[in-house]
Amino acid sequence: MQKQRPKHLDLTVIRLPLPGIVSILHRVSGVALFLSLPLLIYLLAGSLSSAEAFDSYRAVVAHPLMKLVLIGLMWAYLHHFCAGIRFLFLDVHKGLELETARATAKVVLGVSLALTVVLGVFLW
């Protein structure tokens, strides 16, 4: 009996498993971190150059929208870090079994979100 395979990939119909979602989020978070480098360098330079620049830095960072952006970048960093550790273990052939891969994907999502919430509340 031959399986019915889709002739085209409709991404709205295909249900990706959790390890696949973690993998895609790892890539998305890496791109977000790379694209945010100019903003982060600007903020770092503003916090280090002079007292006046530091005051303007504090005004920019105090805005609620900027706080949300920075919390989003913090999640991107934490997720990228946790998923990177998971992928390092997968590269040395640890955790390749289906149940272990699913469990570690859940741990990556849980830990990165929990750390983001804790640090976000602390920094808000």
CA distance linking residue 28 with residue 43, whole number of Å: 22
Higher pLDDT, 47 or 105: 105
Going by pLDDT thresholds of 50, 70 and 90, the confidence category of residue 27 is very high
Give 61-92 pLDDT, tens digit per residue: 899 999 999 999 999 999 999 999 999 999 99
Under 8 Å between Cβ of 47 and 54: yes
Answer whether CATH 1.20.1300.10 is correct for domain 19-123: yes
Tell me how far apart the terminal alpha carbons of the chain are, to the nearest angstrom.
58
| Annotated domain spans of the chain | 19-123
Going by pLDDT thresholds of 50, 70 and 90, the confidence category of residue 1 is low
- Report the half-sphere exposure of 20 (CA within 13 A, side-chain side): 5
pTM of the model: 0.85
Helix axes 64-91, 98-123, angle to 10 degrees: 150
Under 8 Å between Cβ of 60 and 46: yes
